[in-house]
Amino acid sequence: MSATVVLGLAWGDEGKGRVCDAMAREARYVARYSGGNNAGHTIRVGKEEFVVHLIPSGIVREGVICTIGNGVVVNPEVLAQEVEELEERGIEVKSRLKVDGRAHLILPYHIRLDGHREKVLGKAKIGTTNRGIGPAYEDKVARVGLRVQDVFDDGILRQKLKGALREKNALFTNVYGEEPFDPDELAEYLLSFQELLEPMMADTGALLRDALYRDEEVLLEGAQATLLDNDFGTYPFVTSSNPSAGGACVGAGIPPGLLGEVVGVTKAYTTRVGDGPFPTELFDETGETLRRVGHEYGATTGRPRRCGWLDLVAVGYSARLNGVTTLALTMLDVLSAVEEIQVCTGYEVDGEWTGGLPLSQTDLHHAKPVYETLPGWDVDVTGCRRREELPEEARDFVGFVEEQLGAPLRMISVGPERDQAIVERVGV
């Protein structure tokens, strides 16, 4: 059995949680492999809405075991809160959640640093979620990070905290004029999470590998998305991890040969939260319509999402980079609100046409979208459950997306509810 990856093809919020929830019906394990609580994944079950930031979406499906992989950065306070909130809503979490002992911790000084970094950047700010994600990954790579397992060794914990704070406290006091962090106070704070973490801590990669060898279904749930990938995204306006398919292997502890289906999720239009280039962004009434009808406000920070037309240049680049085998298209119902649909199939960069995402960041900033216009359908599609039930214009639109991206659709989402989808089982 091989693992299935579900990942975003744009700048996040494509509906990965919704797609994972649908696919989790048949999964035994659902694993997060990158990012932290910068994510916000929404799952609608009837009248209930769940927004998970750190715990995989699979938790909402009874019996599914969820893992937080080594590639994730974990804020223990957020973890405790999320577990408690879900349990209060009647979802059994503690017996079904495992956290990798290698996962790095987000500490209060990372969050404070995140804020300072953004302030220093001024107009060039990234627009982070201010959850301490970047500084926590920096510490991981700099080899001064603290990991989940460190919470169980008092001596090492204090020693590592002292080491991690040596430079940071100099920065807080000398540059930012703030009080330093006390390593012993932070040690006590972290020790208070022992009880929560002890039964959860595991080698999650080993769990997933064993499950795959036993022929059990494993779903890897991407957070953020390909164009926010630290290597392949619109750097520096990216996150600090690798949400793309390669990151799934490293962040979940799964050998590349055990990756099977790669499901690329895209909206029927495009959104972005935070700063950075977005060639198809709309500043007009149509952009407002997409935001209003699609309820495009961040699930984590509540910020209004920037909205624009579907950018097949950018999404196509992501599809090829990840080697997507199937696609999931979300928010098709939202396009019912616009009369005519534009789809970006190329860019003009300084007078020259290109069909690919420019390697040069400067060129991307100068890119002007070249559109193909497709007719709208002006019909409510939320009740459609088979592709044939869609109006002809909508069928043409989804067919166009498949053809341009070179992969078949396995799911077309026509609303946020569990049953509001056209599910097509392609080659599985």
Residue 331 touches which of ligand IMO, ligand GDP, Mg ion, none (Cβ within 5-8 Å per kind): ligand GDP
Residue 324 has φ and ψ, to the nearest 5°, of: -60, 140
**The dihedral sign for the CA sequence 246, 221, 318, 384:** positive
| Residue closer to Mg ion, measured from CB, 72 or 201 | 72
Q: Are 248 and 222 in contact (CB under 8 A)?
A: yes
DSSP 106: P
| Residue closer to Mg ion, measured from CB, 57 or 336 | 57
**Integer Cα distance of 151 and 158 in angstroms:** 10
* CB neighbour burial string for 341-371, b if at least 16 within 10 angstroms, e if fewer: bbbbbbbebeeeeeeebbeeeebbebbebbe
Residue 22 CB, shortest distance to ligand GDP, in Å, is: 10
**Active site residue ranges:** 13, 41
Residue 417 CB, shortest distance to ligand GDP, in Å, is: 9
**Residues in 285-314 that interact with Mg ion by CB under 5 A:** 299
Residue 228 touches which of ligand IMO, Mg ion, ligand GDP, none (Cβ within 5-8 Å per kind): ligand IMO
129 lies in the binding site for ligand IMO (CB under 6 A): yes
Question: What would the x/- binding string for ligand IMO be over residues 279 to 308, using CB under 6 A?
Answer: --------------------x---------
Residue 76 CB, shortest distance to ligand GDP, in Å, is: 22
Lookup: tokens for 322: 């990840």
Residue of 368, 408, 33 whose CA lies nearest to 224: 33
**Residues in 231-290 that interact with ligand IMO by CB under 6 A:** 239-240, 273-274
Provide CB contacts within 8 A for 12, sequence distance 6+.
39, 224, 225, 228, 271, 272, 273
Contact residues for ligand GDP, defined by CB under 6 A? 8, 12-18, 40-42, 44, 294-295, 299, 330-331, 333-334, 413-416
**Integer Cα distance of 232 and 4 in angstroms:** 21
Which residues here bind ligand IMO, judged by CB under 6 A? 8, 11-13, 38-41, 126-129, 131, 133-134, 223-225, 228, 239-240, 273-274, 299
